[in-house]
Structure 1
Amino acid sequence: MKQASEWLISQNKFHRDARSLGRKAHTVSITGGKGGVGKTSIALKMARMLAKQDFKVLLIDCDTNLSNTAVKLGLPLNDHFMDLVTAKKSFEECLTIDGNFHLLSACNGNMELFEKELEFDRLLIDVMSAHEKDYDYILLDCPAGLSKTSLTLNAYSDQRIVVVTPDRSSITDSYSLMKILNTRYGVNENHLLVNKVSTLAQYQRMVRTLGETVENFLTARLRVLGFVAFERGAVDRFDQELLGGANSALERDFAKVLTRFTEETVGANVSAHGPARPYNSMRVREQDVQPAIC
């Protein structure tokens, strides 16, 4: 871990210096301690909505041998990531492109990739460093858990959106992720998005508990973006609206969360409905609740 931390520090210094010379991409990791909380769908929705607002966006599926992004988009499975690693194809040839939305998907059960002893964090950061000047946003769909790859990519990112559900293990694992990022990598800020919420009171308890725990035990702060409510059948509806681009209530409501995030972090207003109101996480109105993104 020490060696990885030292390498990351040097990479971050290069990253900051490179930005000052004209690089422009804003790197955001969508992460969480537990699988199945909705990270991939949130990453896809965020990427597509930013692209729709004329930002050039690269989404990287960082679970390098389990490409859930391709599955959710209904794309044919491919080994483009392996082709990129082995230099069989160029970066551009390995992308799935839809207007301003570019996707670098992962492989799915590629045995050659599985058997190679590769440092995927280094590989992915090299990809970002090489192409950062070509994008406004680079979004990372990070694998769940506390692997070296996931920790390094989260620490490297400008911002992190931690997706958590009311499930007790999700809360515990997300705190463990933030703790290691803070104590080992010096990360002192994360954004929180709570998914699959049943009641407003449940959401407020989660925010209060996580917020107080982070404040009391870490030298870090937690910025609350909001929450999405649990609703049956939401997976199919979300995927249909994502692919169809309908101007639905889901699209408008998720735009509010996205606007809060971009206005807090880079001052960009991506909402088509005017500037967002200042957000108080403990005063959430019923109309701020969105259908669950699973």
Structure 2
Amino acid sequence: MSTKNVSDWLLSQNRYQRAEKCVDKKIEGKAKTISITAGKGGVGKTSVAIKVAKSLADAGYKTLLIDCDFNLANTAVKLGLPINDDFASLIMGTKSFEEVLHRDGQFHLLSGCNGNLDLFENRLEYDKIILDILVGHEDEYDFILLDSPAGIQKDTLTINAYSDYRFVVVTPDKSSITDSYSLMKILNTKYGVKTNHLLVNKVSNLAQYQKIVKTLSETVDHFLKGRVNVLGSIEYENKAVDKFDQILLGSANSSIHKNFIKVVNRFTEENISTLFSDEKFEVPFATTHFGKQEVQPTIC
């Protein structure tokens, strides 16, 4: 299939482009797909993917998280689960989809492998395998989250272009901001993707957060004629990554946890308003907190 034909096929399959954004999944009958993506690695993307998936599951919605970094998977590691080759077994047909899932209530995980030689030597198009999994199981879930590899390689672009929504995780690091814009630029130019959601991670203060939001929003609007929907921010924690993950995935009373609930609720309120009721989350989450100061993030 030529490059042009692949692009045309993706655009025709992209339910984000075909359907109204605010259609309730309960009525539509298919899962909403969210890719958690980034222009570069090391920004906390996988931690964000796990936390968002767990938050949706805790709210009562059947959620599947797929680790799309097929041979360098980190989701199982961060969750303290055994590393295995089940993803390779699924591809080879020796295990079924049901057999390779990790289940924890409403949260399901399809993890990738770590250093599997068969996957390394195989030239399969793994992005199309993921799309096949989505098409085959999207009527079984409320949400399917895709922890996509960082960067602008073909697999990442295909997964992001197909998804209903894209959460672009960015940090104050200049290369993170530049690479995230490059990702949005190629998705816009090649696949016609005009809208992305922005989550700013590891933020030190309000001014820093506002500068990042303003820079990316105005650049995307001016040069791409696109839109960045701001989800909010996660404050910087001066802790080792493992310790940060323990806090993130642990206590519901931590400030990190509360930041993430704001992000999840902001997204659902603006895009799928019927999914969460006021009883499920007690705090109004349209603001970002730095100490006692609040700011309403700008939506371009």
Whether the TM-score (by the shorter chain) exceeds 0.5 is yes
Which whole-Å CA distance do the structure 2 matches of 1:256 and 1:96 have between them? 27
The structure-2 alpha-carbon separation of the partners of 1:69 and 1:288, relative to structure 1 and needing over 3 Å to count, comes to farther
Show the counterpart of 2:297.
none
- 1:51-200 matched pairs, under 5 angstroms: 51-200=57-206
| Cα displacement (A) at 1:227 | 0.9
Equivalent residue for 1:273, pick from 266, 281, 285: 281
Q: Which residue type is aligned with residue 8 of structure 2?
A: E
Show the counterpart of 1:231.
237
Show the counterpart of 2:52.
46
| Cα displacement (A) at 1:23 | 3.2
Question: What are structure 1's unaligned runs of at least 5 residues?
Answer: 290-294
- Does structure 2 retain, via aligned residues, the 8 Å contact 1:25–1:135? yes
**What count of residue pairs does the alignment treat as equivalent?**
285
Which whole-Å CA distance do the structure 1 matches of 2:249 and 2:105 have between them? 13
Equivalent residue for 1:23, pick from 11, 24, 29: 29
Which whole-Å CA distance do the structure 1 matches of 2:239 and 2:104 have between them? 27
| Cα displacement (A) at 1:229 | 1.6
- Does structure 1 retain, via aligned residues, the 8 Å contact 2:85–2:112? yes
The structure-2 alpha-carbon separation of the partners of 1:209 and 1:165, relative to structure 1 and needing over 3 Å to count, comes to same
The structure-2 alpha-carbon separation of the partners of 1:80 and 1:270, relative to structure 1 and needing over 3 Å to count, comes to farther
| Cα displacement (A) at 1:164 | 0.4
- Structure 1 length-normalised TM: 0.89
- Structure 2 length-normalised TM: 0.87
Deviations 1:225-263 (A, max 9, x none): 111121212634443245545443332232111100111
Q: Percent identity?
A: 58
Equivalent residue for 1:203, pick from 187, 201, 209: 209
Question: What are structure 2's unaligned runs of at least 5 residues?
Answer: 20-24, 295-300
The structure-2 alpha-carbon separation of the partners of 1:221 and 1:29, relative to structure 1 and needing over 3 Å to count, comes to same
Task: Say what the alpha-carbon RMSD is for the aligned residues.
Answer: 2.4
Q: Secondary structure at the match of 1:106?
A: coil
Show the counterpart of 1:7.
9
Name whichever of 226-235 and 150-159 sits farther off.
226-235
Deviations 1:153-202 (A, max 9, x none): 10100000000011111111000000011111011100000111122111
The structure-2 alpha-carbon separation of the partners of 1:277 and 1:228, relative to structure 1 and needing over 3 Å to count, comes to closer
- Does structure 2 retain, via aligned residues, the 8 Å contact 1:259–1:270? no
Name whichever of 247-256 and 43-52 sits farther off.
247-256
Which whole-Å CA distance do the structure 1 matches of 2:209 and 2:12 have between them? 39
Show the counterpart of 2:298.
none
- Does structure 2 retain, via aligned residues, the 8 Å contact 1:54–1:100? yes
